[in-house]
Amino acid sequence: MSSLLAMRGVTVRFGGVVALAEVDLDVALGSITSIIGPNGAGKTTLLGVASGMVQAAAGAVSFLDRDVSAAPAHARGAAGMVRTFQNLEVFSNMTVLENVMTGCHRHVGYGVVDCLLRTGRFRREERRCREHALKRLDFVGLADKAESRAGDLPYGLQRRMEIARAIAADPTLLLLDEPAAGLNTRETQALGELITAIRESQGVTIVLVEHDMDLVMRISDAVMVLKEGRNLAVGPPEAVQKDPEVIKAYLGEDDED
Amino acid sequence: MDLGSLLQYLITGVTVGATYGLTGLGFTIIFNTTGIINFAQGEFVMLGGMLGVAAHAAGVPLPLAVLLAVAAATLAGALMERTFIRPVAKASAVNLIIITIGASILIRGVVMLIFGKDTFALPHFSGMEPIRFLGAAMLPQSLWVLGITLLLLLGLKSFFSRTMWGRGMLACSYDPKAAALMGINVSRMAMASFMISAAVGAAGGVILAPITLTAYDVGILLGLKGFAACILGGLGNPFGAAAGGIILGVLESFGAGLLSSAYKDAITFVILLLLLFVRPTGLFGKGSGERV
Amino acid sequence: MAPTRKNLLGLGAWTLLMALTPHLLTNDYYVSTLIIGFFNAIIVVGLNMLMGYAGQISLGHGAFYGLGAYVSGILAATYGVPVEAAGLIAIIATGLIAWGIGIPTLKLSGHYLAMATLGFGVIVSIVFNEAVETTGGPSGLTGIPRLTLFGITMESDLSYYYVTGLALTLVMALSLNLIQSRLGRALRALHTSERAAEAVGVDIARYKLFVFVLSAVFAALAGVLYAHYLGFAAPSSFGFHFSVTLLVMVVLGGMASVWGAVAGALFLTALPEFLRAFENIETVLFGGILILGMMFLPSGLAGGTAKLTRALLGRFRVGARRV
Ligand SMILES: Nc1ncnc2c1ncn2[C@@H]1O[C@H](COP(=O)(O)OP(=O)(O)OP(=O)(O)O)[C@@H](O)[C@H]1O
Ligand SMILES: [Mg+2]
């Protein structure tokens, strides 16, 4: 099995804090790979390094068998690696539809001149982009909110919209950072189904950072456990669940709680 | 080029640079406490000079006129914070920039309405008989400028490190939420920062007014140069700003003397741009600039 | 598409109004005021794309206006280059300068960006003042020939009015097209979240540079039209004061509205004419507009009116439902 995303020896420091120390990650094509770990373990940072938004002190990232360690964030996005954010990053002054149409950015094929002059190509491409975005909105169940201002949506729907924006890019790899944060049990259940559906119907490979263990164990093919910036365990969910180190780490966390 | 004229350039540069430094210091104090860059900082400097002139013209003895000018500018600083800044404390950086630009235009406009567009001079504090040494001449006013600048710097240093207020203001800059939790009144600190920087700026303006003259519109360039000074010294570092001001003043004075007096003002801005492009953290700063 | 139709209708109505206005005016003087207002509107529409849509502040756009005016003016007056060619060269040259200065400048944000653009504006202004042999220095460049297009010289104010009005309409149409496109969405997106824009593949540095250069090109176009209208260019017209006036126009018109930008520019150009009696009050007034606008109407006149209408309608609807 070839890895779609491979990270090797990734180390990140913030001032004195070592957020990641020599972390490796392999994401198999077509899989749902989850990253779990206590708060501050470095999960978001790892996604940041993958997507090019956090500078690594050492290590390499390869995507689609190409070394992208030096590629800027937008180039990785344009190459099909798209992420969402733990703290929502919604384009609040645009409509929901426009948010999702922005997600289509990498697919819309016209230049400045087409757009300044509104050529036939512009109109064709724009109509295609709009229809595509509406389809994605429908997919996440937000079709009726297309014309609302994104900033006015309730929190849970903003999360869904962010997912719609990400999959509007037709990504090869989708990185989701705690998509269930702030959702209630029912919403989380629905989110699980949505994530599986994204994989099934669009063949998108998914990396999921999540605290909700039920969700993770239910839908993941592989789970990676991070603790204090180190790779604690990796493997299929059942194996990871039984790993004594992991149990200790999580029980340890429970004790503190 | 003889030693005398080099020394002369140095004296002129340091004197003018002291005012740039005080202006930069004003920027820093407000920025440190509130995170705002006050585009009206130069107007406080202008207010110092103009109000000093006005008070003196009205018959107030010179020392009292100077104090009065600084006090009135301080009040203007308080008023500005209270009426324009506090109600929109959570506005975006761009909106706050526009509001402080608006305040600067407003202050300039009011001063123009009252005093007109003429250029005014304040009498020298202790005569105009130059002190001559090593082929250079130094106005006694230069000594006043340097002395008062030094006193202000020392005073502020002990204010920020010794007094409760000073420490409270520093705490606001590190973490306003934590400061509020510790019982520090953040908005009162913000007001204090506007008052102190208005006072410092006005002091710089009124002590320089006898040498460089003053008018309603001198605040624009002085403000920009003060900002250049605090970028040079590293934004957020008050004494860096003061040092930056003096460096700028000296560079400008030598540039005007040795290269071209026509492009004297351009020198500062070319330095400012180069610094922003290459090293936005300043000469003495470290870490990353605000490039998020 | 609905928004497109609305734009077309709006532009149609605008063109009609623009074409008829000179015939309704009783005084030729008003025509020349409107021409100046159109110059300003051309700049402000561009600046509004930069500030209102992409969220990048510039306090140096007076410099681009001046570069357009001076480059074209000097080429035509001193070197006898035909006006059309001089204007074109001036616009391209200004675009190139904006591109060169934009690359390092747009890496900055917030106060740093404001100060860097301001510093650039001041430097250009100093050059206009001090390069006396080329620019004529503080007293200005004189003898700039009138605009000629396809061999026809726009001698009368009325012909100049239509040329400028047409240029403005074109600039508005291009801007409206741009906003509702992939580029416009990218600009608005990076305004709110640069990271999220990058995440979907938007090259933010490129788009910022694009809109910066575009707005500079618009300003240069206005500058060219200005120089060949007045026949004269002086540094004081393009300095810091003018850059701030542009900012006031953007704010008054409401950030992020092409129509608002035009309204703000025309209104503030005409205002001083009405304030002749109180000559010096303009400065105070501009300061007041900036402050009050940002404090109470951050979305400007256009946005404020829309918000008020929505609020009233909303209350009406709620009231209706309760009944
Ligand atoms: N920009 C930053 N500057 C300084 N330190 C940071 C920064 N981002 C993260 N850190 C630190 O790096 C460590 C890892 O943070 P990270 O956000 O990756 O954790 P996480 O696993 O995503 O946690 P959570 O479950 O709370 O989201 C933490 O100690 C955090 O404080
Ligand atoms: Mg996280």
Residue of B nearest to C295 (CA): B88
* Residue whose C-alpha is closest to residue A13's, from A35, A37, A42: A42
Other residues' Cβ atoms within 10 Å of the Cβ of residue C167: 19
Chains near C with 3+ CB pairs less than 8 A apart are A, B
Across C16-173, the runs of DSSP E, i.e. the strands, are 141-142, 148-149, 152-153
Which H or E run contains A243? none
Predicted pLDDT at B290? 35
Whether residue C177 and residue A116 make contact (CB cut-off 8 A), yes or no, is yes
Over residues A97-123, the pLDDT tens digits come to 999 999 998 888 788 888 888 888 888
- Take residue B206 and report the two structure tokens written for it: 């009124």
Q: How many CA atoms does the CB half-sphere of B72 hold within 13 Å?
A: 22
Residue with tokens 């416009």: C184
Residue of A nearest to C200 (CA): A77
Residues 6+ apart with CB under 8 A from B147: none
Which of A103-107, A252-256, C140-144 is least confident?
Answer: A252-256
Average pLDDT of chain B to the nearest whole number: 85
Q: Which residue has the higher pLDDT, B126 or C100?
A: C100
Contact B104, B97 (CB under 8 A): no
Which residues of B lie closer than 8 Å to C, measured between beta carbons? 37, 39, 84, 87-88, 91, 93-95, 97-99, 101-110, 112-113, 220-221, 224, 227-228, 231, 262-263, 265-266, 269-270, 272-273, 276-277, 280, 289-292
Residue of C nearest to B113 (CA): C280
As a whole number of angstroms, the distance between CA A134 and CA A144 comes to 10
pLDDT tier at C321 (50, 70, 90 boundaries)?
A: very low
Which ligand has its closest atom nearest to the C-alpha of A42? 1
Domain ranges of chain C: 5-282
Q: C320 pLDDT exceeds 50?
A: no
Over residues B179-200, the pLDDT tens digits come to 777 777 777 888 889 999 999 9
A-chain CB neighbours of C196 within 8 Å are 85, 89-91, 165
Predicted pLDDT at C189? 93
DSSP summary character for residue B179: H
Whether residue A115 and residue C177 make contact (CB cut-off 8 A), yes or no, is yes
Q: Which residue has the higher pLDDT, B264 or A100?
A: A100
| Residue A32 zone, left/alpha/beta (φ > 0; ψ -120 to 50; rest) | beta
Angle between helices C83-105 and C204-230 (to 10 degrees): 150
Phi, psi of C10 (to 5 degrees): -60, -50
Q: Is A252 helix (H, G, I), strand (E, B) or coil?
A: helix
Q: Which atom of ligand 1 is nearest to the CA of A86?
A: 27
Binding pocket residue ranges, ligand 1, CB within 6 Å = A 14, 17, 19, 37, 39-45, 86
Q: B251 pLDDT exceeds 60?
A: yes
Q: Which residues pair with B133 in a beta bridge?
A: B136
Residues 6+ apart with CB under 8 A from A251: none
Ligand 2 midpoint to CA A181 (Å): 10
Whether residue C119 and residue B95 make contact (CB cut-off 8 A), yes or no, is no
Average pLDDT of chain A to the nearest whole number: 89
Which ligand has its closest atom nearest to the C-alpha of A176? 2
Q: Please write down the long-range contacts of B89-92, taking CB distance under 8 Å and 24 or more positions apart.
A: B89/B187, B89/B190, B91/C294, B91/C298
Over residues C59-107, the pLDDT tens digits come to 999 999 999 999 999 999 999 999 999 999 999 999 999 999 999 988 8
CA distances in angstroms from B131 to B134, B146, B149, listed in the order given: 10, 15, 20
Amino acid letter for position A220:
S
Q: How many CA atoms does the CB half-sphere of C42 hold within 13 Å?
A: 30
C-chain CB neighbours of B111 within 8 Å are none
Rounded mean pLDDT, C225-238: 93
Which of A218-227, B6-15, B154-163 is least confident?
Answer: B154-163
Residue of the CA atom closest to atom 18 of ligand 1: A42
B-chain CB neighbours of C291 within 8 Å are 84, 99, 102-103, 106
Residues 6+ apart with CB under 8 A from A58: A9, A10, A11, A22
Amino acid letter for position A144:
D
Instruction: Tell me which residues have their CB within 5 A of the ion that is ligand 2.
Output: A 44, 86
Residue of C nearest to B265 (CA): C126
Q: Please write down the long-range contacts of B270-275, taking CB distance under 8 Å and 24 or more positions apart.
A: B270/C123, B271/B228, B271/B232, B272/B224, B272/B227, B272/B228, B272/B231, B272/B232, B272/C115, B272/C116, B272/C119, B273/C116, B273/C119, B273/C120, B273/C123, B275/B228, B275/B231, B275/B232
Predicted pLDDT at A257? 40
As a whole number of angstroms, the distance between CA A240 and CA A234 comes to 7
Over residues C273-288, the pLDDT tens digits come to 777 666 778 888 888 8
Residue of B nearest to C239 (CA): B220
B-chain CB neighbours of C298 within 8 Å are 91, 95
A239 CA: distance to closest CA in chain C (Å): 33
Average pLDDT of chain C to the nearest whole number: 87
Over residues C193-210, the pLDDT tens digits come to 999 999 999 999 999 999
Over residues B206-241, the pLDDT tens digits come to 999 998 889 988 898 899 899 889 888 887 787 888
Domain ranges of chain B: 3-278
Chains near B with 3+ CB pairs less than 8 A apart are C
B-chain CB neighbours of C283 within 8 Å are 105, 108-109, 112
Pairing status of strand A3-14 against strand A17-28: antiparallel
C-chain CB neighbours of B292 within 8 Å are 109, 194
Which ligand has its closest atom nearest to the C-alpha of A36? 1
Ligand 2 midpoint to CA B269 (Å): 42
C-chain CB neighbours of B95 within 8 Å are 294, 298
Residues 6+ apart with CB under 8 A from C195: A53, A73, A85, A89
Predicted pLDDT at C310? 64
As a whole number of Å, the end-to-end CA separation of chain A is 40
DSSP summary character for residue C144: P
Q: Which atom of ligand 1 is nearest to the CA of A47?
A: 18
Ligand 2 midpoint to CA A210 (Å): 9
Contact B273, C120 (CB under 8 A): yes
Is the domain defined by B3-278 classed in CATH 1.10.3470? yes
C174 CA: distance to closest CA in chain A (Å): 5
Query: Which residue stretches of C131-203 are H helix?
Result: 132-135, 157-179, 182-192, 194-199
B82 CB burial (10 A radius; 0-12, 13-18, 19+)? middle
Over residues C143-174, the pLDDT tens digits come to 898 888 887 887 788 899 999 999 999 999 99
Residues 6+ apart with CB under 8 A from C92: none
- Looking at 1.10.1060, 1.10.3470, 3.30.160, 3.40.50, the CATH number of the domain C5-282 comes to 1.10.3470
Q: B107 pLDDT exceeds 70?
A: yes
Whether residue A82 and residue C201 make contact (CB cut-off 8 A), yes or no, is yes
Domains and CATH numbers, chain A: 1-80+171-257 (3.40.50.300), 88-166 (no CATH)
Which H or E run contains A63? strand A58-63
As a whole number of Å, the end-to-end CA separation of chain C is 36
As a whole number of angstroms, the distance between CA A107 and CA A117 comes to 20
- Take residue C31 and report the two structure tokens written for it: 């025509």
Which residues of A lie closer than 8 Å to C, measured between beta carbons? 51-53, 72-75, 77-79, 82-85, 89-94, 98, 101-106, 108, 110, 112, 115-118, 122, 126, 129-130, 165-166, 168-169
pTM value is 0.89
Q: Which residues pair with A233 in a beta bridge?
A: A225
Rounded mean pLDDT, A184-205: 90
Over residues B52-91, the pLDDT tens digits come to 999 999 988 988 999 999 999 999 999 999 999 888 877 7
